[in-house]
Structures are given as structure tokens and as C-alpha cells.
Amino acid sequence: MMDGPPRMHVHVEPAMGTMVSIRAEAPALAWVDVEGAVGDACARIHALESDLTTWDSQSPMSRLRRGELGVSDAPEPVVRVLELCAEVRELSRGWFDPWSMRGGVDPTGLAKGWILEEAMAVLRTSGVASAVVNGGGDLCLLGTPPDDGRRWRVGVQHPWRPDSFAAVLSACGSVATSGTYARGLHLVDPRTRCAVPAAASATVVGPNLAVADGLATALAVGGDEVLECIERTCTYDGYLIRADGSEAATQGIEFVPALAEDARR
């Protein structure tokens, strides 16, 4: 079975209120082992989701929100996600603030990214060499692309033309996008709790998808001010499409200009 082109294992799993797709390639592993690794990654997603969901009123996270469960008694995933939330609140100067949500702390804007990182960790420790875990448009990237590229090329969905890209970015680590185009809503400014005309599309690239996920949420609400916060992190980069269609990006964002037009479909 070592002959022929590299085989990409493709799997789509309904989870976290969205579809999670996993594409994994592991030339050194038997096919059945890649299947096993993907199955384990999915099991990890569901296990963590059951701790962190705010949809199940009896989940540890829901009980913590109601004050029935102290942080010191909460399962480790809840503690870890809350730590990351505090970190991103700091990085974003309060623009990402799960503690401002009505009904108690709501880490949903970051938890999905963290769970996807954990799923990728399962793949990595299983020996998978190259993988994309895509949870509803938030991507976790492992290794290098199966074609000979050294960095992944990620299309940023155009906020108003569903079949087009606004840009193609060269990335590694993770890519998260937040925006209002998919739901036609405005976001809430955590400082004033007022609805604000949010960015059309806010993309963050960086080493950890949990942090990128939270920062993308902040960028969608805070716009240019958060872009400056992201620039200061030195490890994350941001690409903002404002409500009026104008764009801005941090220094480190790598566009793939020649592809942007051609890759549109």
C-alpha cells in the first residue's frame, strides 16, 4: 500500500454546532492508524465539548456560569479555557471579554478554537505529519501542505460574495475568522454593551487557534484599535475588512497576491 500518490484522509464530523472537517496525511502510518487517529481526535472534540458547552444546562461550564461550581472544582478544560480567555482579554485590551456576557462568563468565542487545537494535538501525537482541522471556517494547521509548499495557503472568504475570496493568505499554525456577514448581525461592544457596526470580516493568523479565535472576535468588534493590539503581540497577525469594505492588516500578514484573483471561484 506504499505505492501511488499520498492518500489524504478526509472526514467531516458534526460538532460544536457546526461541521468540523479533518484532512490528514501520514505517509509513515498505515491507513487504519490514520483512521484511528482521526477517530480519537473526534472523540476528544466531543469529550471536551461536553465539558465546555453552554447549551447543556448541566455541563460543568453551565454550572460554573450559574455559580454552582467554583473554578477550583471545575474540570481542567474549563480552567484552561478561562485562563486563555483572561489572556486574550489582556491582549485585546478588553475587546474580547467573556465576563461581560449576560448570563455569566461565556468563553464560546474561544473555546471552539481551543478544542480544535486539542484535536490537532491528538493527531500530532498519533504520528500524523500534515493535517488541516477546519471547524466552521477556523483552521488549525499541522506540518506543511501535502503539495511542496512550505506554508499553507488559506483563502479568506469574501464577506459579500460567498463564492469568492477576499484574499489568499500564506499561513502556518492557525487561522480564525470572525465576522457578521454570515448572520447579518451586529456584535456587542463589551464596554458599553451596545450593538456596534462590526467589521465585515476579521481574520487572525498565529500559533494557537484558541488565542486566534478570541482575537478574531475582538478584531471584529474593535476594528483598528484591536489591529494595533494584535501588532503588539508580535506572534499574531490580523487582516481586517471594515464595514465599508476598506481593508487593513498588520505587518506580518503575508498575502499571496497572484493567487487571489485566480483562486476565486
Phi and psi, residue 196, nearest 5°? -125, 150
Q: Which region among 89-97, 121-129, 179-187, 247-255 touches another protein (by CB under 8 A)?
A: 179-187
Q: How far apart are CA 166 and CA 253, in angstroms?
A: 14
Q: Measured on CA atoms in the order 147, 153, 157, 163, is the torsion positive or negative?
A: negative
Binding residue for another protein, selected from 173, 179, 214, 238, defined by CB under 8 A: 179
- 3-state percent breakdown (helix, strand, coil) of the chain, nearest 5: 35, 25, 40
Between vectors from CA 198 to CA 196 and to CA 201, what angle results, nearest 5°? 170
Report in angstroms how near the CB of residue 203 gets to another protein at its nearest. 6
Binding residue for another protein, selected from 26, 29, 48, 49, defined by CB under 8 A: 49
Binders of another protein among residues 193 to 212 (CB under 8 A) are 193-195, 201, 203
Q: Which helix (H) or strand (E) holds 214?
A: helix 209-222
Amino acid at 80: R
Q: Which region among 55-63, 86-94, 227-235, 242-250 touches another protein (by CB under 8 A)?
A: 55-63
Q: Measured on CA atoms in the order 31, 32, 34, 35, is the torsion positive or negative?
A: positive
Report in angstroms how near the CB of residue 152 gets to another protein at its nearest. 5
Binders of another protein among residues 98 to 157 (CB under 8 A) are 101-103, 106, 108-109, 112, 132, 134, 136-139, 141, 145, 147, 149, 152-157
Report in angstroms how near the CB of residue 258 gets to another protein at its nearest. 10
Phi and psi, residue 225, nearest 5°? -65, -40
Backbone angle region of 27, left / alpha / beta, with phi > 0 → left and psi within -120 to 50 → alpha: alpha
Report in angstroms how near the CB of residue 247 gets to another protein at its nearest. 15
Q: Which region among 67-75, 83-91, 160-168, 222-230 touches another protein (by CB under 8 A)?
A: 160-168
Binders of another protein among residues 2 to 21 (CB under 8 A) are 5, 7-19, 21
Nearest CB to another protein, comparing residues 144 and 233: 144
Binding residue for another protein, selected from 27, 28, 30, 46, defined by CB under 8 A: 46
Which one-letter DSSP state was computed for residue 7?
P
Binding status of residue 257 toward another protein by CB under 8 A: no
Backbone angle region of 198, left / alpha / beta, with phi > 0 → left and psi within -120 to 50 → alpha: beta
Binding status of residue 165 toward another protein by CB under 8 A: yes
Report in angstroms how near the CB of residue 233 gets to another protein at its nearest. 19
Report in angstroms how near the CB of residue 236 gets to another protein at its nearest. 14
